[in-house]
Amino acid sequence: MATAAGACSLRHPVAPLFARRESSFYYRHQHKSRGLPTLKRRIRASASDEAEDGDLQAKVQQADWRAFRARLLQKTASLDAAAAAVSAESGTPELWAHSITQPEPGCLLIANPTAFLSRQQYFHQAVIFLFAHSNEGSAGLILNRPTEYNLGQLAGFEELLPDFASCPLYMGGDVGANALHVVHGVHGLEDSMQVIPGVYMGGIKSMKASVQRGESKPDDYRWFVRYAGWGPGQLEREIAMGVWSFCLFISKLWC
């Protein structure tokens, strides 16, 4: 956790508490996470409902989430068709796009546009990257909730400056007030975890050197405050209720 001075001392695998609406559990995964130090400017919520677990809120920029979702679905459909054509010709499956019949790590969850109209509005028309899913529960990051803040406004991450100072912060969900996640498509970073082929999380200790060597760029990385979490069987129940739909993942979103 962050010290009083804002320095971050977390450099070990964590078992974050995933809790949302009806249950909670500890889900142990391999991703090396960092505690979220004190913000140089306090983040405050702009949604009418406050996050249920929260002392840290995000002021979300105004954006056309419906258009974002439409573009994503259009791209998903075209890539799915392209993948099917390539697979038919080559006899080998495409690694960057595939159809799925149930949620799995690396898929995208898309909120029903009629859901979250009065409560938990940060999930309204949300598109979520699911990075963990098992019989112990699920966790993901909201892709389309940018905040008005950037990484340079966090105390305790000075080792990433100035290279990553202008990287925007996204509100990843409503769980984990001290959770900061990074998702990217950069292969070979020390301490990073592969979610699916071509998509990784973590690697904070080595990403600055990667940028300085010209092997990657700061905008290759996307940073998230908090995450969305579901207890055992909770996501499946919400899908059955029509709260979420899911689709193939497009790793080119990170390229």
In DSSP notation, 15-49 reads: -PEEEETTEEEE---S-B-EE---BSS-----SSS
- In the structure, what pLDDT confidence band is assigned to residue 157 with cuts at 50, 70 and 90? confident
- In the structure, what pLDDT confidence band is assigned to residue 156 with cuts at 50, 70 and 90? confident
In a domain, 108, yes or no: yes
159 φ/ψ sector (left φ>0, alpha ψ -120 to 50, else beta)? alpha
In a domain, 24, yes or no: no
In a domain, 211, yes or no: yes
- The Cα 206–Cα 11 span in angstroms is 13
* Residue closest to 147 by CA, chosen among 180, 172, 175, 110: 172
pLDDT, tens digit (0-9, with 9 covering 90-100), for 225-238: 999 999 999 999 99
- Type of residue found at 46: S
Residue 168 pLDDT more than 70?
yes
- Type of residue found at 40: K
- In the structure, what pLDDT confidence band is assigned to residue 178 with cuts at 50, 70 and 90? confident
In a domain, 172, yes or no: yes
Whole-number average pLDDT of the chain: 71
Identify the pLDDT of residue 71. Answer: 56
Identify the pLDDT of residue 177. Answer: 78
Asked whether the beta carbons of 230 and 175 are under 8 A apart, the reply is no
Q: Which residue has the higher pLDDT, 72 or 12?
A: 72
- In the structure, what pLDDT confidence band is assigned to residue 122 with cuts at 50, 70 and 90? confident
Identify the pLDDT of residue 27. Answer: 32
The total number of structural domains in the chain stands at 1
- The Cα 232–Cα 226 span in angstroms is 19
Mean pLDDT of 163-191: 92
Weakest mean pLDDT among 31-45, 86-100, 114-128:
31-45
Residues in the chain: 255
Following DSSP, what letter does each residue of 107-133 receive, concatenated? -EEEE-TTSSSSSSGGGTT-EEEEEEE
pLDDT, tens digit (0-9, with 9 covering 90-100), for 28-65: 333 334 444 444 443 333 333 343 333 334 444 444 44
Q: Integer distance in angstroms from the first to the last C-alpha of the chain?
A: 31
- Domain of 200? 39-254
Asked whether the beta carbons of 247 and 76 are under 8 A apart, the reply is yes
Mean pLDDT of 246-250: 78
Beta bridge partners of 168: 150
Q: What is the pTM of this model?
A: 0.68
| Most trustworthy range by pLDDT among 75-84, 150-159, 168-177 | 168-177
Query: Which residue in this structure is represented by tokens 């995450």?
Result: 227
- In the structure, what pLDDT confidence band is assigned to residue 72 with cuts at 50, 70 and 90? low
The residues near 91 (Cβ < 8 Å, ≥ 6 apart) are: none
Tokens of 147: 């905040």
In a domain, 3, yes or no: no
Identify the pLDDT of residue 20. Answer: 37
Tokens of 92: 């080998």
Asked whether the beta carbons of 161 and 216 are under 8 A apart, the reply is no
In a domain, 19, yes or no: no
CATH number at residue 241: 3.40.1740.10
- Type of residue found at 169: L
Beta bridge partners of 192: 202
In a domain, 93, yes or no: yes
Identify the pLDDT of residue 52. Answer: 38
* Residue closest to 11 by CA, chosen among 1, 24, 26, 25: 1
Identify the pLDDT of residue 91. Answer: 46
In a domain, 182, yes or no: yes
Q: Which residue has the higher pLDDT, 198 or 90?
A: 198
- In the structure, what pLDDT confidence band is assigned to residue 223 with cuts at 50, 70 and 90? very high
